[in-house]
Structure 1
Amino acid sequence: MEGSFRDRASAGLALAEGLAGYAWRPEVVVLGLVRGGMPVAAAVAARLGVALDVLVIRKLGVPWAPEVAFGALGPGGVAVRNDDVAARLEQPDIERVLAREEAELARREERYRAGRPPLTLRGKVAVLVDDGLATGATARAAVAVARALDAARVVLAVPVGSARALSALTPLVDELVCPVRPEPFGAVSQFYDDFHQVTDGEVAAALRSGDVHPPGTV
């Protein structure tokens, strides 16, 4: 299964095949999870002929175990909280993480949106796209934010994912599309020939390319 995809764009084209039912529908918006999900999402949106936008998610990680999230932040001041985890933290620790992640979310929103209107998902079919699903922590946060933004339907779409993460996320979404489900999983990077770190410039370029799609502008 190694090298299943040449790069993120080719993964997006493969992923779009499983999303064909959403093609040319004005209520559909494909949301790339930054940064790695954006090239995948751009290819999906182009193939389906639907709107493309960016979803900036910042996990609120426990200071001594960043992969364990006590919540997440999204655009428009949306915040979700895992009270079971947050209850184990001291308030000063929570405030420090919040301040850092709020600043980073604001920086990325300003950089990526560059004059685009604020993200709104009310009444939309939100197709959340990332380049792969390992632990599922970021995707879980993205789903929670999409729900908080009143999306009518939430679809999670990834080219490759671990069975454990897919199983955990399936009950949280209306549909989950993942064409490659290897076991054992390993790391997302092993399924790409080219898995370079996506830059801010690439995210901005992908969004500009998505502006040519006529239907369903967010």
Structure 2
Amino acid sequence: MKLFEDRKAAVSALNELLPLPQMQRESWILIALSEGGIALCQELNVRMKLKVDWLLGESITAPQNPQCELGRVSETEEIVINDDLVKAFGIQYDYVYGEAHRKHEEKILSRIYHYRKGRPLTTLRGKKVLLVDQGAESGLKLMCAIKTVLSRSPDALYACAPVMPKEVYAAVEPLCDALFCPHVLEDYIETSCYYSELEDVSDEMIIKILGD
């Protein structure tokens, strides 16, 4: 089921829900959660010229199954864990925390230097923050981002995605000041299924957006 022709169409759907004049008046900070989220931020920001940044993170996966996501770690080493999966597979929490530290040291830090030249995540204390992604699967990425941003004392935290599973929306909505999503689906497959086209987002484009 294709809901959007491309990311531009997805942003048009989000714009029907987002309080655009308020965002501009209050100088919200747009925080992308993925490469696709960066592209959405750029499209959202065509007229508003708000601050954009990217909250980097990595999946923590099961020892013998890299497709099974047990948790998520952010660039500030905040961690969210799917406790039900960890217990179901009999995985030790020491493994999960060890993997989180390894992913942070080996992958996240190098991406911070590559995309932001080592600059830390922009200051969020006392700011109004909007998390942006092109969709959500398990919700772990979004939950980890919420935990990370809340630890940095924003004035308000909002989140948006053009499409997400009903159960993720229900879990996330109470944690935000507002959650904006035009399509909340009962039977979610994966995010790419809901776009006719998802253009690659180049490193050069990301570096330029974060530099601007």
TM-score normalized with structure 1 length: 0.80
CA drift of 1:147 comes to 0.6
- Aligned match for 1:123, one of 114, 126, 134: 126
**Corresponding residue of 2:56:** 56
User: 2:114 & 2:149 partners in 1: Cα distance?
Assistant: 21
CA drift of 1:79 comes to 2.4
CA drift of 1:198 comes to 3.4
Map Cα deviations across residues 156-215 of structure 1 (whole Å, 9 max, x no partner): 10011111111111111111000122333222112111124534333224335xx2xxxx
Secondary structure at the aligned position of 1:156 is classed as strand
Q: Which runs of 4+ in 1 moved over 4 A?
A: 81-88, 115-118
Secondary structure at the aligned position of 1:194 is classed as coil
CA drift of 1:51 comes to 1.6
Aligned length: 205
Equivalent pair of 2:73/2:100 in contact (CA under 8 Å): no
**Corresponding residue of 1:12:** 11
User: 2:152 & 2:183 partners in 1: Cα distance?
Assistant: 29
1:21-170 correspondence runs (5 A): 21-64=21-64, 66-69=68-71, 72-74=73-75, 77-80=76-79, 82=81, 89=92, 91=94, 94-114=97-117, 118-170=121-173
Q: Which segment drifts farther, 141-150 or 175-184? A: 175-184
CA drift of 1:143 comes to 0.5
Root-mean-square deviation (Å): 2.7
Q: Which amino acid aligns with 1:72?
A: V
Equivalent pair of 2:70/2:81 in contact (CA under 8 Å): no
CA drift of 1:142 comes to 0.6
Map Cα deviations across residues 30-49 of structure 1 (whole Å, 9 max, x no partner): 11112221101211122444
User: 1:187 & 1:63 partners in 2: Cα distance?
Assistant: 23
* Greater relative contact order (Cα < 8 A, sep 6+): 1
**Corresponding residue of 1:215:** none
Q: Which amino acid aligns with 1:68?
A: L
User: 2:156 & 2:23 partners in 1: Cα distance?
Assistant: 15
TM-score normalized with structure 2 length: 0.82
Please list every run of 5 or more consecutive structure 2 residues that lacks an aligned counterpart in the other structure. none
Secondary structure at the aligned position of 2:4 is classed as coil
User: 1:32 & 1:106 partners in 2: Cα distance?
Assistant: 17
Q: Which amino acid aligns with 1:136?
A: G
Equivalent pair of 2:53/2:121 in contact (CA under 8 Å): no
Is the alpha carbon distance of 1:179 and 1:63 closer, same or farther for their aligned partners in structure 2, counting shifts above 3 Å?
same
Secondary structure at the aligned position of 1:181 is classed as strand
Equivalent pair of 1:33/1:128 in contact (CA under 8 Å): yes
**Percent identical:** 26
Equivalent pair of 1:31/1:127 in contact (CA under 8 Å): yes
**Corresponding residue of 1:207:** 210
Q: Which amino acid aligns with 2:12?
A: L
Please list every run of 5 or more consecutive structure 1 residues that lacks an aligned counterpart in the other structure. 212-218
Is the alpha carbon distance of 1:99 and 1:3 closer, same or farther for their aligned partners in structure 2, counting shifts above 3 Å?
same
CA drift of 1:93 comes to 5.8
